[in-house]
Amino acid sequence: MTSQETQTGSITILPQAIITVAKAAALESYGVINLAPGSFKEVLRRLFCRNADYGITVTADPDGLVLVINLIVEYGLRIKSVTDSVADSVRYNVQRTIGIPVKRVDIHVRGLRISNPD
């Protein structure tokens, strides 16, 4: 949970809000097929909970947010180009929407998939 103090009160931003913005930005990026669970715990949560979010972890640091994103990337594309694009897009959208600086975006490619076999 991230909170900020203003003159009129405090603002509390839950990690779920940050995950929603980061997820939308990551899935709109070119070459991303889907998010992948990062741990066995996330796999179980995905099986038993209907609306379980997985693939993105947010931690708050005094210098900003640290995001860890687990992706499945389209086969045949340069992985470095896709991950750089996703990191830049997520950083920009989270900073613009939430208003908190993003210190680091770590991307883990958990798999490759062919999206169109033709």
Domain boundaries, the chain: 18-113
pLDDT at 72 over 70: yes
Residues in Cβ contact with 118 at an 8 Å cutoff, skipping those fewer than 6 apart: none
> pLDDT for 2-50, tens place per residue?
777 778 888 888 888 999 999 999 999 999 998 887 777 666 666 666 6
**Per-residue pLDDT at 87 exceeds 70:** yes
| Cα 24–chain centre separation | 8
Q: Which DSSP symbol is given to 36?
A: -
Domain with residues 18-113, CATH architecture = 2-Layer Sandwich (3.30)
CB 97 within 8 A of CB 83: no
Q: Give mean pLDDT, residues 95-103.
A: 92
